[in-house]
């Protein structure tokens, strides 16, 4: 008999022979179901060698796939391998082929995500499972906006050791545990035995699906298990026993900063989220994590810890699986350009210098998700740039020359299409509702925004499996053309262009109203084919000069106040991470005083008042 339920979590089964699914079933209980399954790798090369290789593997079959999104179908050998064996098997196969004739694919696709792709399901989906055959199918869609998450029970756990030093250690005794769940709060204190037994009892009684533990990956979860072992107690934080190997944290460099990410602590049947080890949770909360898990087809546990680039990669892997495209072990596209071509093509986004000073009645027009919209609108992907099928009638690329394909959808535009559509739909819902009613939609939209932010950079990333620097340059070329077209439309309507940065344009006209600016935004949208939003109308805005040359502008540094009293600033000390709190608070106080000015005279008086504050 088929089982229906919400897919809470999944993990490799303890016997290593399949996947263990955890479903919130229709009667409200959470149960595990084992599905026999093994991950696949694919091998391409001469058919004679593939047939010989097939005889060495019991679980193998010949299938028709494509090595490249824009390529022709080829025959490949699909091999089912054990968990944790893919890299070893791939290395042996490449060695057998002399590192030339045999190519191995899909080695890097995470196994749990590969299982989700193959079965067409995603976390928190309503699914139907046939326990006998192991067949699994989703009964709802990733496209859904109004999906149910009310069935997810959440508990927040705080642990307080008796710290013997400045930094807690495993040798410190457990003093207190606080648990908040189901609208209740429990404080457990006393001796360690009673605290740990009380914690086990609360987890059994409240039975949460998601456990929020600040510092859980770094220290807390392993600390609790260690203290339980010290008193001879077996403590299970999940719904079933799990094993987590200790190891050093991952250290990586990104945009000039060093980041440290601790090894995740995974539970069976329960999702553990460490707010200190989760970019998505820190910025968008649990609703954002769930949205990323559903849209990007990533288990909830991983969605909380993945970088935005890893989420984007999962979107591309899902499309590749759906289209029958193999994932290469290494990026295969290289680009060699003459210096003259490089100077023409690699120019980034367009920035229009402003004249430093204070401007009144200025509107800011923003292209919504400009780069992702360009990639979908003009079908920009590695395989669509200068395709052979549209040499004479393709979509032209401005300035660069060349074209993108009109006939076949690109893999990257297909991958970002879903999060882009959903984000725009969420933003429409947010505008139609009040702040209190739209908080969940805002969290979901913000989570998708972070994923989409990575789509453009990842297109030109040297390690991206489906990236291309030429495609990356093509997106910039379309962006420059769109901003220039917006400038022309504004000037033809009698507006003065004050400033422009890549996807934003500041314009003004004497006596213009908010409705005038809204009509201009609509005209720019019609002229460019890209969605344009009237971000706001400033009562006044100050664009700043260079400290070394008062006549030279510093792009991206400004502050101002909108007609509804909101202060907006970019690039100044109040926005920087490395600014001392004293300086930040002083600048914010100054901005608050300046924001009250409603005329040039009042602004001048407020500025003089701020100088007094500085002294």
Q: If 0-12 CB within 10 Å is exposed, 13-18 middle and 19+ buried, where does residue 372 land? A: buried
Residue 457: its pLDDT value, please? 87
In tens, the pLDDT along 100-126 reads 899 999 999 999 999 999 999 999 999
Q: If 0-12 CB within 10 Å is exposed, 13-18 middle and 19+ buried, where does residue 511 land? A: exposed
pLDDT at 227 exceeding the cut of 80:
yes
Mean pLDDT in residue range 561-570: 91
CA 164 vs CA 169, 189, 260, 367: distances in Å: 8, 18, 25, 55
In tens, the pLDDT along 340-352 reads 777 778 888 999 9
> Which domains, from first to last, does the chain contain?
3-37+115-138 (2.40.50), 40-108 (3.30.70), 154-301 (3.30.420.10), 351-405+459-571 (3.90.1600.10)
In tens, the pLDDT along 581-609 reads 888 988 898 888 888 989 999 888 888 88
Separation CA 412–CA 466 (nearest Å): 8
pLDDT at 255 exceeding the cut of 70:
no
Q: Quick one: what percent of the chain has pLDDT higher than 90? A: 70
pLDDT at 483 exceeding the cut of 70:
yes
Confidence class for position 615, pLDDT limits 50, 70, 90:
low
Q: Quick one: what percent of the chain has pLDDT higher than 70? A: 99
Mean pLDDT in residue range 448-475: 89
Residue 36: its pLDDT value, please? 95
- DSSP character at residue 101: S
In tens, the pLDDT along 275-304 reads 999 999 999 999 999 999 999 999 999 999
What's the alpha-carbon Rg for the chain, to the nearest Å?
28
**CB contact set of 486 (below 8 Å; sequence gap of 6+):** 365, 367, 500, 505, 524, 527, 528, 532
Mean pLDDT of the chain: 92
In tens, the pLDDT along 497-525 reads 999 999 999 999 999 999 999 999 999 99
pLDDT at 614 exceeding the cut of 80:
no
Confidence class for position 48, pLDDT limits 50, 70, 90:
very high
Angle, CA of 386, 391 and 395, to the nearest 5°: 70
Asked whether the beta carbons of 179 and 156 are under 8 A apart, the reply is yes
């Amino acid at each position: 008999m088929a089982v229906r339920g919400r897919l809470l979590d999944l993990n490799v089964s303890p016997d290593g022979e399949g996947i263990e699914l955890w479903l919130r079933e229709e009667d409200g209980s959470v149960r595990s179901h084992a599905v026999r399954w093994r991950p696949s790798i694919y091998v391409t090369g001469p058919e004679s060698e593939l047939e010989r290789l097939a005889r060495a593997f019991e679980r193998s079959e010949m299938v028709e796939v494509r090595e490249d999104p824009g390529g022709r179908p080829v025959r490949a050998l699909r091999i089912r391998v054990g968990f944790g064996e893919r890299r070893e098997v791939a290395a042996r196969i490449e060695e057998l082929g002399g590192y030339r004739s045999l190519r191995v694919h899909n080695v890097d696709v995470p196994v749990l995500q590969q299982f989700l792709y193959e079965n067409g399901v995603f976390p928190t989906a309503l699914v139907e499972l046939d326990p006998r055959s192991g067949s699994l199918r989703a009964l709802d869609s990733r496209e859904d906006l109004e999906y149910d998450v009310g069935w997810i029970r959440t508990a927040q756990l705080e642990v307080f050791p008796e710290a013997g030093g400045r930094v807690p250690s495993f040798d410190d005794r457990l003093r207190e545990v606080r648990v908040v769940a189901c609208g209740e709060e429990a404080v457990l204190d006393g001796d360690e035995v009673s605290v740990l037994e009380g914690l086990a009892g609360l987890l059994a009684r409240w039975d949460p699906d998601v456990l929020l533990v600040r510092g859980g990956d770094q220290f807390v979860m392993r600390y609790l298990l260690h203290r339980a072992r010290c008193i001879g107690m077996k403590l299970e934080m999940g719904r079933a026993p799990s094993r987590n190997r200790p190891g050093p944290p991952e250290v990586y460099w990104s945009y000039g900063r060093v980041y440290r990410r601790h090894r995740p602590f995974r539970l069976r049947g329960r999702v553990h989220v460490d707010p200190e080890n989760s970019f998505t949770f820190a910025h968008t909360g649990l609703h954002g994590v769930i949205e990323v898990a559903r849209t990007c087809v990533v288990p909830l546990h991983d969605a909380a810890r993945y970088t935005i680039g890893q989420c984007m990669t999962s979107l591309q892997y899902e499309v590749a699986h759906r289209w029958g495209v193999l994932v290469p072990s290494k990026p295969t596209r290289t680009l060699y350009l003459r210096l003259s071509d490089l100077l023409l093509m690699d120019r980034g986004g367009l920035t229009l210098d402003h004249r430093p000073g204070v401007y009144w009645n200025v509107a800011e027009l923003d292209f919504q998700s400009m780069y992702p919209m360009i990639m979908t609108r003009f079908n920009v992907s590695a395989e669509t740039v200068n395709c052979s099928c549209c040499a004479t009638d393709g979509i032209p690329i401005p300035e660069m020359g060349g074209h993108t394909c009109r006939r076949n959808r690109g893999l990257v535009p297909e991958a970002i299409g879903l999060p882009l559509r959903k984000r725009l739909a969420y933003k429409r819902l947010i505008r139609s509702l009040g702040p209190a009613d739209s908080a969940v939609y805002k969290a979901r939209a913000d989570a998708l925004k972070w994923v989409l932010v990575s789509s453009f950079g990842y297109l030109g990333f040297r390690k991206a499996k489906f990236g291309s620097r030429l495609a990356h340059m093509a997106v910039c070329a379309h962006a420059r053309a769109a901003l220039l077209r917006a400038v022309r439309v504004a000037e033809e309507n009698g507006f003065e262009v004050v400033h422009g940065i890549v996807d934003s344009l500041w314009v003004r006209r004497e006596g213009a109203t908010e409705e005038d600016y809204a009509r201009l935004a609509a005209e720019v949208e019609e002229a460019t084919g890209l969605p344009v939003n009237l971000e706001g109308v400033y009562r006044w805005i100050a664009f700043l000069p260079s400290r070394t040359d008062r006549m030279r502008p510093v792009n991206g540094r400004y502050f101002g106040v909108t007609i509804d009293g909101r202060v907006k600033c970019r690039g100044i000390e109040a926005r920087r991470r490395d600014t001392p709190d004293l300086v930040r608070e002083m600048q914010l106080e100054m901005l608050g005083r300046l924001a009250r000015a409603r005329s040039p005279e009042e602004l001048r008086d407020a500025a003089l008042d701020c100088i007094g504050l500085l002294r």
